[in-house]
Amino acid sequence: MTISSSLLLQNPHLPFQIQKHPPLHHHRYPQPPPSITLSPLPPPPLVRIRTKNLLPSATLSSFSDDNEAAAETKANGKEEEELSEMAKAFHISSKTASAITVCIAVAALTLPLFMRSLTTAGLSVKTRALGYLTLLSGFYMAWNIGANDVANAMGTSVGSGALTLRQAVVTAAVLEFSGAFLMGRHVTSTMQKGILVAGVFQGKDMLLFAGLLSSLAASGTWLQVASFYGWPVSTTHCIVGAMVGFGLLYGGVGAVFWSSLARVMASWVISPVMGAAISFLVYKCIRRRSKPRKSRCNCSTLAVLLGVTGISFAAFPLSKTLPIALLQALACGIAGAFIVSRVIHKQLGHLLISESERIEQKEAPDLQNMSFLSDIAGPKGAQLEIVYGVFGYMQILSACFMSFAHGGNDVSNAIGPLAAALSILQGGTTGAEIVIPTDVLAWGGFGIVAGLMMWGYRVIATIGKKITELTPTRGFAAEFAAASVVLGASKLGLPISATHTLVGAVMGVGFARGLNSVRAETVREIVASWAVTIPVGAILSVLYTLILTKVLALLV
């Protein structure tokens, strides 16, 4: 037979060759194509196999290989099932995950022995033992803050794909600790003096000590339960509810500083509204740009300017030097905006130029009139690459901004009651100004980082995926808005809920795209968890206080 060599299709498993005949187009081939002559392949020898003798006549080596392969597959599946949740989340081995857990546990148990609160001369054995228990309770609360509330900082970045989980954890660990250590002092002072009226517990130091310690344990317990199920609850709600429950039980209505509590409750309502409003405006501003190649540069420069200015403003004292602090922070923001914008242009400048030239040459009206990043589905090719590249950088910056602010604000939930309890043990007066030791602030920061590394991935998955569909632009708008509100409140000494702020910001981004873009069921679940957190924290605090007072009575 004669066929074209370029159209020959060979199948080694058949006793003959298959030839494919395309439709003939004689006008394309004025001369017939070269051909070759092939002889058919000889048929393979026939082999008869009896079914009943199939198993005995089969080679043992083939079955041995199959059994080994099956055993290996089964072993791999079993090993996959036996991997811990932490190992699966970070794509590490179970041994590595176990080693990290053991190192954190050993550090948590041994470091308090070297802290100044326990090494002060003249402390009795009982006082040292209670101080050790207090530091462990504070660490437990801080650990659960890191496991649950840290999703407010990095959940949107992981959900949009701007950062991997491992990158997010490392970045958040550094910035959460920095925020807790550098900014925690302001908020802590309000938490320890502004919720309970200390004068009501004059002469009842051990009762107040038991209540503070029970508040830490109760809040940590509920946060751990919520983190296990991936529920993003408010740690501020939890600790305030626990302290109010204890105060009402042992001090009555007069034990609660209601004006301060009213400010906190007002901030719980105001913060999500502010977060939603700011994120809505930021995202709307980005989408309405008719010339995306120019708006990217303007938005990125403005974002860096505001972000660096906000972080720098947090580092300068407020008090009576507000204009000076603002000018210094603004100078830092301008410098940061220039540097970061240059970095972005260096990385993506070739795409910006090529895309700009392509749009100007084609002068496509549909692209010019299209709302910028309508749903991220509009821009194609290089334009979409520019969008994700620029706002990927922006979201990472806003995530760092949010993480720093979160560490400074939420460390108060653990360090406030901890510092007050340590002051009582060391003979301090509950009504006086309490100085927060530096090592105690660092201890709270370490607890937040430890909880983030061990259990933070659970709530990060909830925040990043279930409220609304996130992309780098949406995540940037939400994180930037939430960080602005939280950092400002932390600087003013007002303990707000970072969870409320971020959920409001994410909802604002969703509302900017339409009401149907927000998953109402998830929002309802989150709001329900907020409503349950306060009474649960109060009830657990009362139970723990009753138990602890009995134990302390036996020790006296």
Shortest CA distance to 452 belongs to which of 492, 410, 391?
410
Q: Look at residue 425 and tell me if it is in a domain.
A: yes
Strands 2-4 vs 35-37: parallel, antiparallel or unpaired: antiparallel
Helix (H) or strand (E) holding 477: helix 472-492
Tell me the one-letter amino acid at 551: V
Calpha distance 530→526 (Å, rounded): 6
Q: What is the rounded (10 degree) CA torsion for 239, 241, 243, 246?
A: -140
Written as six digits, the tokens of 2 are 């004669």
Q: Nearest 5°: phi and psi at 166?
A: -65, -45
Task: Match 């002072």 to its residue by tokens.
Answer: 189
Q: Look at residue 329 and tell me if it is in a domain.
A: no
Q: What is the pLDDT of residue 102?
A: 93
Shortest CA distance to 89 belongs to which of 178, 34, 173, 168?
168
Task: Match 């990095």 to its residue by tokens.
Answer: 154
Q: Look at residue 239 and tell me if it is in a domain.
A: yes
Helix (H) or strand (E) holding 18: strand 18-19
> 3-class secondary structure for 250-266?
HHCHHHECHHHHHHHHH
Q: What is the pLDDT of residue 217?
A: 93
CB-based contact 50:42 (threshold 8 Å) = no
Q: What angle do CA 545, 551, 554 make, to 5 degrees?
A: 140
Q: Look at residue 133 and tell me if it is in a domain.
A: yes
Q: What is the pLDDT of residue 216?
A: 92
Q: What is the DSSP letter of 34?
A: P
CB-based contact 140:220 (threshold 8 Å) = yes
Q: What is the DSSP letter of 26?
A: T
> Is 357 exposed, middle or buried (CB count within 10 Å of its CB: 0-12, 13-18, 19+)?
exposed
Calpha distance 508→436 (Å, rounded): 37
> Is 510 exposed, middle or buried (CB count within 10 Å of its CB: 0-12, 13-18, 19+)?
buried
Q: What is the pLDDT of residue 491?
A: 65
Q: What angle do CA 342, 346, 348 make, to 5 degrees?
A: 115
Q: Look at residue 7 and tell me if it is in a domain.
A: no
Q: Look at residue 222 and tell me if it is in a domain.
A: yes
Written as six digits, the tokens of 143 are 């650990």
For 217-233, what is each residue's pLDDT tens digit? 999 999 998 888 888 88
> 3-class secondary structure for 361-414?
HHCCHHHHCCCCCCCCCCCCCHHHHHHHHHHHHHHHHHHHHHHHHHHHHHCHHH
In Å, what is the CA distance from 99 to each residue of 96, 103, 405? 5, 6, 30
Q: Look at residue 155 and tell me if it is in a domain.
A: yes
> Structurally, how many domains does the chain consist of?
1
Spell out, as residue ranges, where the chain has pLDDT lower than 50.
1-11, 14-21, 24-29, 36-38, 47-64, 75, 78-81, 190, 290-297, 312-320, 350-381
> Which residues on neighbouring strands pair with residue 2, listed in sequence order?
37
Q: Look at residue 100 and tell me if it is in a domain.
A: yes
Q: What is the pLDDT of residue 3?
A: 47
CB-based contact 392:303 (threshold 8 Å) = no
> Is 279 exposed, middle or buried (CB count within 10 Å of its CB: 0-12, 13-18, 19+)?
buried
- Provide the residue range defining the domain that includes 417: 91-288+371-555
CB-based contact 268:494 (threshold 8 Å) = no
CB-based contact 135:421 (threshold 8 Å) = no
